[in-house]
Amino acid sequence: MLKPLSRKELIRKFKVLGYSGPFSGGKHQFMIKRSHKIRIPNPHVADIDASLLKEILRQAGISSKEWEEA
């Protein structure tokens, strides 16, 4: 079960999964793993909602189980 998390924690987990960055992009920063590039939400006061996290993981091809183990 996915739950909301901070942007800092999102970045930490993607680094554990082998992504590098974040790097500055146009409107959003991004992280890279080989040729795969994912956009990272901009910093906000609130945590990243579970539904947005689910969409980011879908685009990255990361399963919920793999995410929980990171």
**pLDDT single digits (tens) 5-28:** 999 999 999 999 999 999 998 888
Q: For position 45, what pLDDT does the model report?
A: 80
Q: Which residues contact 29 (CB under 8 A, 6 or more apart)?
A: 21, 22, 23, 39, 40, 42
DSSP letter for 18, please. T
Q: Left (φ > 0), alpha (ψ -120 to 50) or beta: where does 12 sit?
A: alpha
Q: Domain limits at 52?
A: 7-41+48-61
Q: Can you tell me the distance from the alpha carbon of 52 to that of 44, in angstroms, rounded to the nearest whole number?
A: 13
Asked if residue 3 lies in contact with residue 49, where contact means CB atoms within 8 angstroms, the answer is: no
Q: Is residue 68, in this structure, part of any structural domain at all?
A: no
Note whether residue 36 is domain-resident. yes
25 found inside a domain = yes
Q: Is the pLDDT of residue 1 over 90?
A: no
Give residue 25's pLDDT: 80
For residue range 39-65, what is the model confidence (pLDDT) as tens digits? 999 888 899 999 999 999 999 999 999
Domains of the chain: total: 1
Residue 70 in any domain: the answer is: no
On whether residue 1 sits in a domain, the answer given is no
Residue 13 in domain:
yes
